[in-house]
Amino acid sequence: MQRLSNLVGQIRPSPTAGTASDDGSNKPPMEQGLDMTPELMTTIMQYRQSVDELKDEGIFPSMTIFDLQLATKFELGVASEADANTMIDAAEKSGALEILKKLPGPWDGAKTRAAQVKLLQFMGFGQATGSDIFQFAKWQNEFGKRGLNSNIIVPIILGTGTGTDRGFGVNARVILSDAADSERISRTHVRKEGNFEVALYDGIIATTDNEHWQKQRHHLAEAFMPLSSLAKIMPVSLARAKQCTERLAQSAAGGAVVDMSDFLLHEAQAQLQLALLGAPEKLMNETNEDIRAAFIGDLEHGKVGALGDAMKSLMELAATDQTLALPTDEAAVKGPLSRAVQTSNMSAQTNYGNMLLILFAGHDTTGHTMTWLMFEVARHPEIQIALRKEADAFFKKLDGRDPEYRDLAETDLLDRCVTETLRMWPAVANGTFRQLQYEDTVTGPDGKPVSLPKGTFVNIMNWSRHRNPDLWGPDVDEFNPYRDFKPEELAKVGCSMAGANIQSDRFSPFAHAPRGCLGRNFAQMEMRLILLYLFHRFEFKLAPPYDTLTTAKLGATPDVHEFRGINRATMGPMDLEQSSQKRWGTRHVYAMKMFAREDTQ
Ligand code: HEM
């Protein structure tokens, strides 16, 4: 069983141990782990070996962890009752659970071993169903005494290492939501938790080595410089934004319903590959759908190994294309991020981890943000009309010429809508995961400081802070782009403020500096272009069954079965029509059905 546990832990992108019932009721948890067929075992063993080959010999693997999850139909990563028990025994022995006494949390309510096992499984269930952030908010209210300001602590199954070095055990994670603590800790403790290494190796977002992180950040940053890099690749971005209106016109012709989540994720992946990676249109078209199906974990359309193949093609492009250029190359900037991978003198696993991260985080986040924005403005027709007027005025002022990077500074309402969307529906709702570099204090339940030891795992949450009425006012769950944002919170493009990370103590959609999002300027540019062209040409309405959400109140603590964000690394809108039943509950993917009517006036 331990061998099996190690295998299971090896493939987890983050711990998913859930077997609890998905309504949180007292149905008995699963006694045994998944039945391991010989075929499944072989697939996993081959995957493990390929990870070792990447690390040791620089050979790119045939599968990524996302392919493996498709291959195993998301049924691995389930800790049986027996495994959970064994891990709790070990953690008790090592003293790893002592820290759970430092702050309030659901462990306080788990008085028996059976309840503790169930809680561990419930934590995994939250990740598997993409509902963890809502459960944390509920626990903050239940155990924390300071509502959504509360810092709480939860038990976790923590996986560490990659390939044959993979292991896992029970530990604890502080869920940080006090605004001042969140900003201070994320600015000063830049060391990551290590929970992304299983999927992204020692790449920029995953590495726990601060020096290695700094080196990568320094090297990759040139690709994202607003004026010297992004403004130069904007024509590619612009051409695609124009083209996407034609694609939408065809899909929506005759009043057909369009899944705007799928449409916008496709466009974000296209933008990423064409503009930032310098990929040819043919490669983008051939790989777009397969890449997204694997990342989303779409069991219906996903093809095992397709993401691995696409990664090989993109790594090959980065290694061989002599036309790629960064601003300092003194040639026309082309595919600056692929060029940055080409000129990196880092290991194969670092480069591979970065390419995989960029393919994922570089499109999912932006696609979801645009989809949530569409959803909210479809629910607020008066805002949609104002946005269209702004888009029309934008193009009128251009008087027939193409927009340039600096023109994007002129979209005040769109800036506010993007900012409000990032607040209400943060694509990275979990924020960031850190490990304290030295002993530090955070605010306890009675407002007094609580000391946390060096090495404590901390999750600096976006969801609870962005939905906290004490920080935003009583209309916190309303989409209100006109709200009183602080100047440092408002997203800007095309001007001197474009390079600044939008952040405050209550707001960190891109995480706080210095380890904030590196791709945010590209995201802001492509979102402006796509949305300006779409609102200029189309009027959007929610289609059934999403039209039932027009006046729905969508708060911080929805039930697992209600419409909500599906939060699996990034948060997109729940598919109301399709889901699959797993041993641990209902697994939804993403969708947002809309009508897009051409505005003929
Ligand atoms: C609306 C869109 C986006 C949002 C909301 C967003 C949000 C975030 C957040 C919260 C982090 C910190 C995550 C953590 O610490 O674990 C992050 C990191 C990162 N993001 Fe983004 N992101 C977006 C778009 C992009 C794009 C388009 C790219 C690349 C093309 C990108 C590349 C990165 C990279 C490389 C990091 C790691 C930075 C580091 O560790 O130094 N992101 N992003």
Question: Would you say residue 533 lies in a domain?
Answer: yes
Give, using CA atoms, the residue closest to atom 27 of ligand 1: 362
Ligand 1 centroid – CA 219 distance (Å) = 16
522 CB near ligand 1 (under 6 Å)? yes
Report the number of distinct structural domains present in the chain. 2
366 CB near ligand 1 (under 6 Å)? yes
Ligand 1 atom nearest the C-alpha of 276 is 30
Whether 138 and 174 share a structural domain: yes
pLDDT along the chain (601 residues), means of 10: 39 36 42 68 88 95 94 77 91 95 96 94 88 97 97 92 81 98 98 94 97 98 94 97 98 98 98 98 98 94 96 97 96 97 96 96 96 98 98 98 95 97 98 98 97 98 98 98 97 84 97 97 97 98 98 96 95 95 89 91 52
Question: Would you say residue 307 lies in a domain?
Answer: no
Question: Would you say residue 520 lies in a domain?
Answer: yes
Give, using CA atoms, the residue closest to atom 35 of ligand 1: 518
CA–CA separation, 352 and 50 (whole Å): 13
Q: 205, 236, 254: which is the final residue of a domain? A: 205
100: three-class secondary structure by DSSP? helix
Ligand 1 centroid – CA 229 distance (Å) = 18
365: three-class secondary structure by DSSP? helix
Whether 198 and 113 share a structural domain: yes
Residue 170 near residue 91, CB atoms below 8 Å: yes
Count how many Cα atoms sit within 13 Å of the Cα of residue 232 in the half-sphere of its side chain: 21
Query: For residue 363, what are its two tokens?
Result: 């499109």
CA–CA separation, 601 and 590 (whole Å): 33
Task: Give one word for 554, left, alpha or beta, with left for phi > 0 and alpha for psi -120 to 50.
Answer: beta
CA–CA separation, 310 and 583 (whole Å): 31
Q: 161, 180, 205: which is the final residue of a domain? A: 205
Give burial (CB, 10 Å; 0-12/13-18/19+) of 254: exposed
Whether 156 and 262 share a structural domain: no
CA–CA separation, 433 and 88 (whole Å): 22
Query: For residue 564, what are its two tokens?
Result: 């909500």
572 CB near ligand 1 (under 6 Å)? no
Ligand 1 centroid – CA 568 distance (Å) = 15
CA–CA separation, 60 and 309 (whole Å): 10
Residue whose C-alpha is closest to residue 17's, from 86, 97, 98, 118? 118
CA–CA separation, 582 and 293 (whole Å): 18
Would you state the pLDDT for residue 44?
A: 85
Give, using CA atoms, the residue closest to atom 42 of ligand 1: 519
Indicate which CATH number applies to the domain containing 395.
Answer: 1.10.630.10
Give, using CA atoms, the residue closest to atom 15 of ligand 1: 432
Whether 270 and 390 share a structural domain: yes
Would you state the pLDDT for residue 375?
A: 98
Question: Would you say residue 51 lies in a domain?
Answer: no
224 CB near ligand 1 (under 6 Å)? no
- Choose one of 236, 365, 435 to mutate for the ligand 1 pocket test, by most ligand atoms within 8 angstroms of C-beta: 365
| 383-to-308, 313, 345, 379 alpha-carbon distances in Å | 42, 42, 48, 9
DSSP-derived secondary structure letter, 502 = P
Whether 105 and 141 share a structural domain: yes
Whether 197 and 340 share a structural domain: no
Give, using CA atoms, the residue closest to atom 31 of ligand 1: 519
For residue 558, whether the previous peptide bond is cis, meaning omega lies within 30 degrees of 0, is no
Residue 366 near residue 527, CB atoms below 8 Å: yes
Would you state the pLDDT for residue 230?
A: 95
Residue 524 near residue 509, CB atoms below 8 Å: no
Question: Would you say residue 464 lies in a domain?
Answer: no
Ligand 1 centroid – CA 561 distance (Å) = 29
CA–CA separation, 546 and 492 (whole Å): 31
Cα 478 from chain centre: 23
Query: For residue 164, what are its two tokens?
Result: 């044959």
Whether 409 and 498 share a structural domain: yes
Whether 100 and 225 share a structural domain: no
Question: Would you say residue 394 lies in a domain?
Answer: yes
Whether 162 and 233 share a structural domain: no
Q: 205, 230, 249: which is the final residue of a domain? A: 205
Between strands 457-460 and 167-176, the pairing is parallel
Start-end of H helices in 278-327: 281-296, 306-320
Whether 563 and 516 share a structural domain: yes
CA–CA separation, 27 and 404 (whole Å): 59
Would you state the pLDDT for residue 40?
A: 80
Give burial (CB, 10 Å; 0-12/13-18/19+) of 322: exposed
Question: Would you say residue 447 lies in a domain?
Answer: no
Question: Which residues form the domain of 522?
Answer: 218-278+321-426+479-598
Whether 186 and 252 share a structural domain: no
369 CB near ligand 1 (under 6 Å)? yes
Whether 107 and 227 share a structural domain: no
Question: Would you say residue 61 lies in a domain?
Answer: no
Give, using CA atoms, the residue closest to atom 37 of ligand 1: 205
